[in-house]
Amino acid sequence: MIGVGAFGRNHARVYSHLAKEGVPVRLVGLVDPDTARADTVAREFGCRSFGSVEQLVTTHSEVQAASVAVPTVHHLNAARQLMEAGVDVLVEKPLTASLAEADELVLLAHMLGRVAQAGHLERFNPAVRATLPVITRPMFFEVHRLSVFTPRSLDIDVVLDLMIHDLDIVLSFVDSPLKEIRAVGLPILSGKVDIANVRLEFDSGCVANLTASRVSTERVRKLRFFQPKQYVSLDYGRQDVMVFSVGAGDGLGTPSVNPQIQVVKPPVTAEEPLHAELKSFLKAVQQRSQPIVTFEDGRRALAVALDIVAAIAAHGEKVNLNHLHS
């Protein structure tokens, strides 16, 4: 485990739990330059702490896989050291700080034959998984990801911090080239953009409106989309999905107030997304198979996110808002 901040500690917790559940994994070490923090978390989960990746792989040559949850600017360096030492990696989102770095990571993983997974957690949300079978031709998305302000991840703006989750999901659902981006965003409590609204248009004609905020008074994580004769509502937090279909359909749904509309709740098996993600990563490592979320997927989401950041900056310059940014 590389990096034991708030999210890195969660990775360590889940790896520890997976071992207790009988998954063939053993947490051997944690790496963090804050050695006091690393020592504390290592004691909590019964493993050793190290101040650098080099110390870990030198001491434990048997290390086969690692999660990278350090600040984004250090992703490339940490993942490179691990892959060159023969370690498969899961790198938290956003994959890297730039597309050039992402391209280097993708190339390295291919050259070294490493299993390399991008940490897009919501792909493993049970509600997302339950939605996949009902997708036909999405034509309009409305997505909201709102969080209360916390002092974490202020080195990146809300697009790379929060919205990138939904960008990855929408891109995987639509499967069409992106045609146009229109975006606006503002810094509110930090020096970076804290709230953003984006309109994406795809070659297929699909349009997606996404709003992300880390200065909200409430926590909302919802994705809704329309496709021919259907409306699908997904709640990431509650891990549930509702499908509203027009017409007689197969008669399996529950009639609504309007008898022409059938309502179906696809079955969802509740599971912590991080638990599902790390279990899937370990399976890919053991089977030497392609992970569900590849580095290429992470690069694709990063590319769109960076284009959105640029579009927000261009809009801010156009309407004279860029003076608000640090």
Residues 145, 148, 151, 154, CA torsion sign:
positive
pLDDT of the residue at 153: 59
Return the bridge partners of 210, or none: 143, 198
pLDDT of the residue at 152: 63
Task: Write out residues in the chain with pLDDT < 50, as ranges.
Answer: none
pLDDT of the residue at 325: 54
Predicted structure pTM score: 0.92
The rounded distance, in Å, linking the Cα atoms of 212 and 166 is 9
Which among 127, 112, 64 is positioned nearest to 295, based on CA atoms?
112
The rounded distance, in Å, linking the Cα atoms of 116 and 126 is 22
pLDDT of the residue at 260: 82
pLDDT of the residue at 85: 97
Q: What is the 3-state secondary structure (H, E, C) of the chain?
A: CECCCHHHHHHHHHHHHHHHCCCCCCCCEEECCCHHHHHHHHHHHCCEEECCHHHHHHHCCCCCEEEECCCHHHHHHHHHHHHHCCCEEEEECCCCCCHHHHHHHHHHHHHHCCCEEEECHHHHCHHHHHHHHHCCCCCEEEEEEECCCCCCCCCCCHHHHHHHHHHHHHHHHHCCCEEEEEEEEECCCCCCCCEEEEEEEECCCCEEEEEEECCCCCCEEEEEEEECCEEEEEECCCCEEEEEEECCCCCCCEECCCCCEEEECCCCCCCCHHHHHHHHHHHHHHHCCCCCCEHHHHHHHHHHHHHHHHHHHHHHHHCCCHHHCC
pLDDT of the residue at 254: 64
Q: Please, are residues 233 and 143 in contact by the beta-carbon 8 Å criterion?
A: no
